[in-house]
Amino acid sequence: MNRSLHGLAVAVTAAALIVSLDAPAHAAASGCTHHLSGPQICIATTGEPGSANPGTVRASWTNPPPQRTSAMVHITEPAGQTYTITARRRGDQLAATFAPGIQTDGKLCARFHGSRRTACVQIIDRS
């Protein structure tokens, strides 16, 4: 019984190591504005950058004013390129997802028109 648990632990550890070696060049990351009450702006990345699989960026504004059904969100890449896309209401938040193809290390930020807050995340190229 003890040997089977040990064997299972070794197998799980090996599988985790194999999966971690196959990580994308830009690991998934997220960042939010930190306020105890009221609206919150967040930005999150997934996937791998580049033309083959550019990954995605998701920007969200939780608890925006109730009358807002959409808002422009400005995404600024580390190299300074800014994209402006429309975020649409989904429940209690405005959200938008897109694939910009980030190629450099640095800060990736999201700012919604109508909010004074900006959320950023640090992008690190691990390739």
| 79 band by pLDDT with thresholds 50, 70 and 90 | confident
Cβ neighbours around 58 below 10 Å, total: 17
Q: Report how many domains make up the chain.
A: 1
Has residue 31 been placed in a domain?
yes
Has residue 13 been placed in a domain?
no
Rg (the chain; Cα; Å): 19
pLDDT digits (tens, 9 = 90+) for 2-12: 454 444 333 33
Has residue 103 been placed in a domain?
yes
Calculate ∠ Cα 92-95-52, nearest 5°.
150
Q: Which domain holds residue 97?
A: 24-123
- Residue 67, both tokens: 């009358």
pTM as predicted: 0.70
Has residue 81 been placed in a domain?
yes
